Amino acid sequence: MSDSTPPAALSIAGSDSGGNAGIQADLLSFAANGVYGTTAITCLTAQNPTGVSAIHTAPAEFVDAQISQVLDFYPIKAIKTGMLFNREIIMAVARRLERAPLISIVVDPVSVATSGHVLLQDDALDALKIHLLPLARVVTPNLDEAKLLLGREIQNVEEMDQAAIDLAKAYQATALVKGGHLEGEDLIDVVATPSGETHHFHQTRIQEIDTHGSGCTLSSATAAQIAKGNTALDAISIARDYLRRGMESPVTLPQSPFINHLP
């Protein structure tokens, strides 16, 4: 980040002690995409790419205080939300962001870690759908998260198309439904706009890389590009290219190669 006066963005998300996902990935993505990053930490997680062993949640009022301090001082152009975990935190975040209608919000509806650990309590889903998602400019679910939001299976590209259209219409937001959990060498992500227009993004699956943190990286890079003035669709395209570069030039650690956030 060489610009001495970069735009600023805020990540409201959990901390990943392994550094591959969450707030840590978001700050790296912000910096790599030329944006000054600020944070409001919702949870502390004890985790690495193999699993989550413990979660310590911040009180909702403390999450609200963090957001307030950031918004009161920094000229925030975009906000990304990630792991919010419980209803109390979601409600606090939604109430605060309702007071900032001019800031673009990217909602990554984090519910399940790559390792399979549940990151959203059962009673929080309705709060997410009713109170936070209507504030979003962009929503970025993977297939499992889209299934939770819509209450139905999504098993092929045609069903991804309809899922993206339904989410975009329901929340009047650009919906990116990520297809990484589908089998096959050809990865397809589907984007739908509130008007019902759809776009497909294709790429070949990269083998032998740990994708832990890919969703966080993509959503925060999208928020960064929106903060720089790009349209939602262009921001998603640029963010996908950034993530792809990070996967093609991974950081190699003893167990596995990981996403390189500074490719």
The CATH number given to whatever domain includes residue 254 is 3.40.1190.20
Quick check: is 3 in a domain?
no
Q: What is the DSSP string of 184-213?
A: SSEEEEEEE-TTS-EEEEEEEPPPS-B-TT
Q: Region 134-144: what's the mean pLDDT?
A: 97
Determine the pLDDT at residue 185.
78
Residue 53 falls within a domain, yes or no?
A: yes
Q: How confident is the model at residue 99 (pLDDT cuts 50, 70, 90)?
A: very high
In angstroms, rounded to a whole number, what is the distance separating the alpha carbons of residues 193 and 108? Answer: 16
Cα separation of 246 and 59, whole Å?
34
In a domain, 24, yes or no: yes
Mean pLDDT over 155-180 rounds to 96
Task: Say what the pTM is.
Answer: 0.95
Indicate the number of domains in the chain: 1
Question: Nearest to residue 14, comparing CAs of 64, 63, 78, 84?
Answer: 84
Residue 61 located in a structural domain: yes
Domain with 70, as residue range(s), is 8-258
Distance separating alpha carbons of residues 206 and 93, to the nearest angstrom: 35
Question: Per the domain annotation, does 263 fall within a domain?
Answer: no
- Give domain status of residue 219, yes or no: yes
Confidence of residue 111 (pLDDT cuts 50, 70, 90): confident
Could you report the per-residue pLDDT of 226-236, keeping only the tens digit for each? 999 999 999 99
Closest CA to 164 of 128, 189, 144, 187: 189
Q: State the DSSP H helix or E strand holding residue 223, giving kind and residue range, or none if neither.
A: helix 214-227
Please, what's the largest Cα pairwise distance for the chain? 47
Q: Is residue 217 part of a domain?
A: yes
33 assigned to some structural domain: yes
Residue 138, SS3 per DSSP: strand
- Crossing angle of helices 214-227 and 22-32, in 10° steps, is 40
Question: Is the pLDDT reported for residue 113 higher than 70?
Answer: no
